Amino acid sequence: MSLRRCVGWLPGWQFSSFADLESTAPAAVVSANKIVTVTPAAARYGVQSGQKIRWARSLCPKLIEVSPSKLLTQTFEPVLIAAESVMAGVTPWRPGLFFAPARGAAKWHGGEQELCVGLTEAIAEAGGWECRVGIATGTLSAILAAREQVIVPEGEERDYLAPRPLKEAVWARGAEIAKTAQLLSKFGIETLGQLAQLRRREVGARFGMDGLALHDLASGKDIRIEPAARGEQGVSVSVPCEEPASSYSQAAFTVRICILRFMRALEQKGLTCARVKISAAAARGKELQRTWMLDPGWGEKDLTDRVKWQLEAWTSTDSETSGPVQGITLEAVDLFTLTARQSALWSAGGKNTDSAMAAAHRIQALLGPRGATIPVLQGGYDPRSRVALIPVGEERSPKYALDRPWPGQLQGHAPAWILEKPKLLTLVDETGRAVEITSRLALSANPVVARWERNSVAIQRVEGPYPVLDRWWGPASERSPRTYLRLRSAGIDMLAVWIDKKWWVDGFWEQSKIGRKT
């Protein structure tokens, strides 16, 4: 069951410590010639995280560029303290974004609208900060509701999310899911609603754990996790400081040791966690604690950032809980099995990649370089030519550029399956005569039945023909001119190609009626 959340979002929080930067100024943090984060003013120009700085400048010539090294991020602790005066269970996700369970707090304040008003006023009174508050059920719904300052009625999460583009899921899952969203868009899935209509199991089979998480978010749910086994002991690691640390830099060595031991302890048990409780023994004898949300797929850097943010808050001179700390404790919260977030075989970096590469090289030693290949998208006129199989170990650069013009290119979204070896196909009309492509690149008759191997299917809809005449002047070794049809019936959505005066089954969008053995 998804949690009803109250989310608070402070726009442009990372920029709020710049006294000389107006609140309406378009600004962006830039690292390695790419946009890291932007102010709302810059976002209105179309500047987004992940864009190259050159493109961002063309969208917003007055863009103010800020270096991460110069970014004096304000500590988020005062905001959290103000939020805790209104509701319990406040958990920060990252600086500028926090959430808490909404039901109990809304009941206490007399309603969800009253809770939103009270939280906004409390944070404004504490430091003059602008905080946008929203309430909804489900992770992504609640975050987007906060950005728009709305309350999404319970049960209407899917309708609220449906028209939104897939890329908005990065607000809940982080940039690592953006590649999956881009890949889905190539298959015609442009909105969260379109993704939610697909079967979750099939999305997971095709796109792995990121696909499952994206489907859950699009459906207005929380990201599903597999809980740890009942009776599993918790994971907690404590490391004392050699001397009381009055700043993060003084405690950095202790923090690194604590984080490495913490991650090793989780790995040894085959576990990971959704949240981490950071505790510090203050020199004044007070125990300081704060629980942070972790992004799915978090690593050492993500955890280090959260510990750094929290220690800077505790050791800053303007914090009510300031003062030197004598030790650091990390405790895993919301434990679940590591297999629930297993990375893909070819994920960037890590043990999986090393093992996969070693296995691929062994296969190549037996079968030759093309015994193990990796598919790479490239330019081309049809779905088959738009995929290049690059031998493992070679540079993954396609032969033909994607962005060059391809006049006469087969339009529309590519089939889900392209057959390694096309199968001979027969198309007949209502009189039983074979259907062909004429010299004018038209159908000789309307096909009503498709036959291949032991299959015979009644055709309900025909799209095309779509002639492709690439390099018809070239040598015979190159592909001949060809014509495509899209044939649809109950349970089958097929791509057929006419080449050398014969029909062939080239691929499928769907083939549930006959299985996937073809």
Give pairs for 454-463: CB < 8 Å, separation 24+. 455/514, 455/518, 457/487, 457/489, 457/492, 457/513, 458/489, 459/427, 459/487, 459/488, 459/489, 460/488, 460/489, 460/490, 461/487, 461/488, 461/489, 462/486, 462/487, 462/488, 463/487, 463/488
Considering only CA atoms, which of 484, 486, 496 is closest in space to residue 424? 496
Query: Please, is 339 exposed, middle or buried when counting C-beta atoms within 10 Å of its C-beta (0-12, 13-18, 19+)?
Result: exposed
Q: Within 10 Å of residue 207's Cβ, how many Cβ atoms?
A: 22
Strands 27-31 and 64-66: parallel
Query: Please, is 56 exposed, middle or buried when counting C-beta atoms within 10 Å of its C-beta (0-12, 13-18, 19+)?
Result: buried
Which pLDDT value is given to residue 230? Answer: 45
Q: Strand, coil or helix: what is 3? A: coil
Dihedral sign for Cα atoms in the order 289, 294, 297, 302 = negative
Which structural domains are found in the chain, ordered by start?
Answer: 4-218 (3.30.70.270), 236-341 (3.30.1490.100), 344-409 (no CATH), 417-511 (no CATH)
Mean pLDDT value across the chain: 80
User: How many H-runs (helices) and E-runs (strands) does the chain carry?
Assistant: 14, 20
Backbone angles phi, psi at 512, to 5 degrees: -65, -25
In our burial notation (b when 16+ CB lie closer than 10 A, e otherwise), range 172-183 reads bbeeebbebbeb
C-alpha–C-alpha distance, residues 479 and 217, integer Å: 43
Which pLDDT value is given to residue 68? Answer: 59
C-alpha–C-alpha distance, residues 276 and 293, integer Å: 7
> Are the beta carbons of 312 and 75 closer than 8 angstroms?
yes
Q: Residue holding tokens 């060059």? A: 404
C-alpha–C-alpha distance, residues 506 and 484, integer Å: 9
Q: Residue holding tokens 């390695």? A: 32
C-alpha–C-alpha distance, residues 63 and 181, integer Å: 27
The beta strand positions in 45-96, using DSSP E, are 64-66, 91-94
**15 secondary structure, DSSP code:** G
> Are the beta carbons of 241 and 328 closer than 8 angstroms?
yes
179-226 pLDDT per residue, tens: 788 888 877 888 999 999 988 888 877 777 778 888 888 888 876 555
DSSP string, 29-49: EEETTEEEEE-HHHHTTT--T
Which pLDDT value is given to residue 318? Answer: 54
In three-state form (DSSP H/G/I as H, E/B as E, the rest C), the secondary structure along 176-236 is: HHHHHHHHHHHCCCCEHHHHHCCCHHHHHHHHHHHHHHHHHHHCCCCCCCCECCCCCCCCE
Query: Please, is 24 exposed, middle or buried when counting C-beta atoms within 10 Å of its C-beta (0-12, 13-18, 19+)?
Result: exposed
> Are the beta carbons of 133 and 106 closer than 8 angstroms?
no
Q: Within 10 Å of residue 252's Cβ, how many Cβ atoms?
A: 15
> Are the beta carbons of 315 and 284 closer than 8 angstroms?
no
| Residue ranges, the chain, pLDDT below 70 | 1-2, 12, 14-23, 67-75, 174-176, 223-233, 283-285, 317-322, 338-355, 395-397, 403, 407-408, 470-480, 510-518
Considering only CA atoms, which of 398, 401, 422, 412 is closest in space to residue 479? 422
Q: Residue holding tokens 């006469």? A: 408
Strands 461-468 and 482-489: antiparallel
Which pLDDT value is given to residue 114? Answer: 94
C-alpha–C-alpha distance, residues 463 and 441, integer Å: 14
C-alpha–C-alpha distance, residues 418 and 515, integer Å: 14
C-alpha–C-alpha distance, residues 469 and 381, integer Å: 9
C-alpha–C-alpha distance, residues 251 and 253, integer Å: 6
Considering only CA atoms, which of 140, 130, 132 is closest in space to residue 116? 132
> Are the beta carbons of 36 and 117 closer than 8 angstroms?
no
